[in-house]
């Protein structure tokens, strides 16, 4: 027992644990990224929430254990920024937001750093949370849900995709499984419209008892009036493009290239054309040199 107490009181052991606690910081950054660009689908949310809660409680215990270490004190001032990102990106998903937010607030007051610094940073973080949250709510009131999509030029743009309007019974996955088409059903009075988006399924993230489906970077394909819920406006097919089998889309019977592969195909075609032009120029130069030598 005395040996265990001596180990726990050893300053280097506490410093090692404090460094290990930065793994929790990395974990929260990962959670913020998932909240930012992914749609959560859970097989059984209750056990997953218990596991998530256990991770936060265990991390809090280690952070309290090392609260006198400078490494943990620095960590205590970094974590509020990450918690704020989780709050904004995952707004409404309180089962994800609440545990780390409680850990961050408690750790901020418990850590043994300078009180003046704690007061100054605490005031700044309080303003960040209040103003940021109010501003985000106001933005959502005017713009709706904010999701990053890709426009026709391939650059990121803001879209008002509402995850609650996503059709849970529809998912059209390509033959390779790399891409999927999803649809959102919106109602305006008596009129319903359906909007199709293609997502990069190969960038999904598997989590215990669920999956996070990549939404950020999705591309709009088609919007039409909803007349029959069972009618599918979009179909997958394959075509030979530049000698390579490529998955393409048929929208209302009209061929549309896979928007995720357009740039790649263009790059391949341009590189092949440049290589062919280079080879032709080298051939012409060699033929001219041979003709000049024969003339001599």
Instruction: Return the domain boundaries, the chain.
Output: 1-143, 163-256
The least confident of 202-206, 252-256, 257-261 is 257-261
Q: Which DSSP symbol is given to 166?
A: B
What pLDDT sits at residue 287? 45
What pLDDT sits at residue 262? 60
Count Cβ atoms below 10 Å from residue 38 Cβ, excluding itself.
19
**Token pair for 104:** 């961050």
Residue carrying structure tokens 């995850």:
163
What pLDDT sits at residue 128? 95
In this predicted structure, the answer to whether residue 59 has a pLDDT above a threshold of 90 is yes
**Token pair for 250:** 């048929």
In this predicted structure, the answer to whether residue 47 has a pLDDT above a threshold of 70 is yes
Q: Which DSSP symbol is given to 190?
A: T
Computed over every residue of the chain, the mean pLDDT equals: 82
What pLDDT sits at residue 276? 45
C-alpha radius of gyration, the chain, whole number:
27
Strands of the sheet with 156-159, listed across from one edge: 156-159, 147-150, 218-225, 191-200, 179-188, 172-173
What pLDDT sits at residue 285? 45
Span 96-112, average pLDDT: 93
SS3 (DSSP) at 150: strand
**Token pair for 289:** 């040199």
Reference 35, options 196, 158, 214; nearest CA is: 214
Span 21-47, average pLDDT: 92
**Token pair for 37:** 């660009």
CA distances from 106 to 3, 49, 101, 110 (A): 30, 20, 9, 6
Give 275's pLDDT tier (boundaries 50, 70, 90).
Answer: very low
Tens of pLDDT along 193-230? Answer: 999 999 989 999 999 888 999 988 888 888 888 888 88
Helices (H), 66-152: 70-89, 94-110, 115-143
Task: Decide: pTM greater than 0.85.
Answer: no
Rounded to whole angstroms, the Cα distance separating 152 from 73 reads: 46
- Identify the helix (H) or strand (E) that includes residue 157: strand 156-159
Span 55-69, average pLDDT: 93
Residue 185 CA to its chain's centroid (Å): 23
Residue carrying structure tokens 């999927």:
180
């Amino acid at each position: 027992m005395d040996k265990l107490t001596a180990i726990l009181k050893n300053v280097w052991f506490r410093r090692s644990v404090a460094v290990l606690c930065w793994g929790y910081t990395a974990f929260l950054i990962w959670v913020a990224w998932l909240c930012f660009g992914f749609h959560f689908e859970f097989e059984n949310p209750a056990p997953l929430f218990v596991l998530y809660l256990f991770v936060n409680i265990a991390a809090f215990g280690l952070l309290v254990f090392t609260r006198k270490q400078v490494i943990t004190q620095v960590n205590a001032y970094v974590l509020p920024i990450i918690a704020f990102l989780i709050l904004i990106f995952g707004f409404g998903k309180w089962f994800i937001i609440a545990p780390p937010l409680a850990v961050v607030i408690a750790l901020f007051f418990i850590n043994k750093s300078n009180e003046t610094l704690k007061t100054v940073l605490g005031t700044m973080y309080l303003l960040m949370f209040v103003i940021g949250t109010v501003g985000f709510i106001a933005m959502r009131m005017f713009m709706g849900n904010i999701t990053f999509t890709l426009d026709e030029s391939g650059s990121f743009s803001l879209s008002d995709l509402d995850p609650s309007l996503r059709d849970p019974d529809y998912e059209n996955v390509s033959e390779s499984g790399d891409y999927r088409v999803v649809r959102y059903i919106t109602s305006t009075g008596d009129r319903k419209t359906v909007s199709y988006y293609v997502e990069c399924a190969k960038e999904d993230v598997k989590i215990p008892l669920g999956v996070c489906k990549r939404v950020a970077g999705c591309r709009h394909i088609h919007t039409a009036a909803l007349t029959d819920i069972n009618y599918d406006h979009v179909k997958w097919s394959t075509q030979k493009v530049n000698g390579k089998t490529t998955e393409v889309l048929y929208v209302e019977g009209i061929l549309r290239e896979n928007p995720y592969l357009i740039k790649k195909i263009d790059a391949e075609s341009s590189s092949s054309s440049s290589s062919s032009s280079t080879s032709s120029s080298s051939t012409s130069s060699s033929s001219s040199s041979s003709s000049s030598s024969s003339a001599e």
